[in-house]
Amino acid sequence: MKACFMGLGYIGLPTAIIAAKHGIQIIGVDINPNVVEMTNQGKLHIVEPGMQELLQEVVSDGRLKASTVPEVSDAYFMVVPTPFKGNHEPDISYVESATRAIIPFLKEGDLYVIESTSPVGTTDKMTNLIFNLRPDLRDKIFIAYCPERVLPGNVIYELVHNDRVIGGVNEVSTEKAVEFYSQFVQGTLHRTNCKTAEMCKLTENSSRDVQIAFANELSLICDKAGINVWELINLANKHPRVNILQPGCGVGGHCIAVDPYFITADFPIESQIIAKAREINNYKAFWCAEKVENIMLKFELEHQRKPTIAMMGLAFKPDIDDLREAPAKYITTKVMQSCNNADILVVEPNVKEHKVFKLTDYKEAYEKADIIVFLVAHSVFKSLPYDDKKIILDFCGIYKK
Ligand code: SAJ
C-alpha cells in the first residue's frame, strides 16, 4: 500500500509519520522545498513532542520520503491549509491545487480523501473537478472526507486514539476510507456521508468557539460588576449540568478562530450565535488592549512618568510555541503602537527569539515592570510570587484558585 500525503504541515506530517510507522509506504508532498529537504533529512520542521524520533525512524528505514511533486500511489490525502480571505470567505484554492496535482496520477481503485477543514460541499466540488478532467475514472475511484481532530501537543496519542468521522461520496467510498484509517486508528471510525462529515468538523470547532465566547462575555460582565469571574465559573460548574469554559484574552490558533467563518459565510442568515461568538471572542482581545492602555495612562497621571509594562505571553494558548492568530500577539502589538516610548517588555518563554519582538526573560520582566499583563496562562508564570506592589492585569486566570 502506498499513500501520498499532499501537505506536510502540523497535521499532514504527523499523520504521514504515524501511517508510515504502521507499515504504509508514504510519499509526503509539500510545495516548500525547505520542508521537503528537512523531512528527508529526518528533521522535524514543526514542534510536536515525540514526533522527531518517529520521523527519524520512518525516514531512515525508507518508509517515508518527501518530495515537491506527487508520485503514483494507491491513496491520496489532501492535508493543506484552508484559510479565509479578507471578507471571511473560505479559500479552498490549496485543496483545489493539491487535487489538480494528483489527478494525472489517479488510476482505477484508488482512494482520494480530503482531511483539510473545508466548507460544506467541497468534497462534491473536488469530485466534479476530478471527473471533469478524468471522465474515465467515474465510479472507478473512491472519494471521502475525513477531518482530523488532534490537539497540538498531544498529536501522537490523539491521531491513534481519537474517534474519527468518515464520509464518502457513496457507501463503497466510505468503506474504502474506513479500511485505510483502520490500519492505524484505534478509536471508532464513524461512517456518514461527505457533507455531514464536513459540517461535523465545522460544528466541533464552532461549538467550542461559542462556549468560549460565553465565558468571555461573562468576564466582561464580571469586570463591570466587580465579581471574580474565575470564582464565579468554578462555582457555577458545581452544578451537575453546567460546564462553562475559561475566559481568556481572545481565541487564537488556526482552527477555532477560523472554522466558524466557513459556516457563517455560507449560512449568514441562520448562523446568528456562531457569528456573534466570533465577534465576542475578537472583541475580547480589543477590550484587553484598551484595558492595558487605560491603566498605563492612569499610571502616568498618578506617577508623572511612563510605566514599565510586562506583556506576559505571545502564544495562542498555554505551553506551546505557536503564535499563529494569537490574540496575545495582537494585544501586545496594539499596546506597543498606542504608546510609543513606553517601556514594554515582551515575554514568551516558549520562543527563543522573534523577528518583531525583542523578548525578555519572564522573571526579569516581572521584576522590572510596574504593570504585569498576563495574556497566556503558561505554567511557568504560575510559579511567580504574587507581588501586591505591582499592578496586575490577569486576563487568563494565572491567580485563579
Ligand atoms: N481557549 C479559551 N478558553 C478555553 C479553551 C480555549 O480561551 O476554555 C482558547 C485558547 O487559549 C486558544 C483557543 O481557545 O486561543 C483555541 O484553543 P483550543 O485548545 O480550544 O483548540 P485548538 O485550536 O488548539 O484545537 C482545536 C481542537 N478542537 C476542539 O477542541 C473542538 C482540536 O481538537 C482540533 O483538532 C483543532 O482545533 C483543529 O485542528 O481543528
Q: 22-32, pLDDT tens digit by residue? A: 999 999 999 99
Q: Is residue 153 part of a domain?
A: yes
Given a cut of 80, is residue 341 above it in pLDDT?
no
Q: What is the mean pLDDT of residues 230-249?
A: 98
Domain boundary pick from 187, 213, 244: 187
Neighbours of 344 (CB within 10 A): 25
Given a cut of 90, is residue 87 above it in pLDDT?
no
Q: What is the mean pLDDT of residues 297-320?
A: 95
Q: What's the pLDDT tens digit per position in 168-216? A: 999 999 999 999 999 999 999 999 999 999 999 999 999 999 999 999 9
Cell of 193: 456521508
Q: Is residue 272 part of a domain?
A: yes
CATH code, 350: 3.40.50.720
Tell me, yes or no, whether 271 and 389 share the same domain: yes
Q: Is residue 208 part of a domain?
A: no
Residue nearest atom 11 of ligand 1, based on CA coordinates? 317
Q: Is residue 215 part of a domain?
A: no
Looking at the chain, the whole-number percentage of residues with pLDDT higher than 90 is 92
Please state the pTM of the whole predicted model: 0.94
End-to-end CA distance of the chain: 53
Give bridge partners of residue 343 from the DSSP assignment: 308
Q: Is residue 399 part of a domain?
A: no
Q: What is the mean pLDDT of residues 350-365?
A: 95
Domain boundary pick from 122, 156, 187: 187
Tell me, yes or no, whether 175 and 261 share the same domain: no
Tell me, yes or no, whether 60 and 124 share the same domain: yes
Tell me, yes or no, whether 96 and 6 share the same domain: yes
Strand 164-168 to strand 142-145: parallel, antiparallel, or no bridges (unpaired)?
antiparallel
Tell me, yes or no, whether 145 and 283 share the same domain: no
How many whole angstroms separate alpha carbon 202 and alpha carbon 206? 6
Catalytic residue among 146, 249, 255, 288: 255
- pLDDT number for residue 244: 98
Catalytic residue among 21, 176, 201, 329: 201
Q: What's the pLDDT tens digit per position in 35-54? A: 999 999 999 998 888 999 99
Closest by Cα among 214, 205, 311 to 263: 205
Q: Is residue 193 part of a domain?
A: no
- pLDDT number for residue 48: 87
Q: What's the pLDDT tens digit per position in 92-135? A: 999 999 999 999 999 999 999 999 999 999 999 999 999 999 99
Tell me, yes or no, whether 157 and 273 share the same domain: no
Residue 400 pLDDT class (50, 70, 90 cuts): confident
C-alpha distances (whole Å) from 166 to each of 45, 192, 248, 311 are 28, 6, 33, 43
Total count of domains within the chain: 2
Residue nearest atom 14 of ligand 1, based on CA coordinates? 251
- pLDDT number for residue 304: 95
Domain span at 380: 226-394
Given a cut of 90, is residue 321 above it in pLDDT?
no
Cell of 234: 468554578
Tell me, yes or no, whether 163 and 248 share the same domain: no
Tell me, yes or no, whether 259 and 111 share the same domain: no
Which atom of ligand 1 approaches the CA of 149 most closely? 35
- pLDDT number for residue 196: 98
Tell me, yes or no, whether 161 and 309 share the same domain: no
Tell me, yes or no, whether 167 and 252 share the same domain: no
* Ligand 1: lining residues by beta carbon, under 6 Å: 148-152, 204-205, 208, 212, 245-246, 248, 251-253, 255-256, 316-317
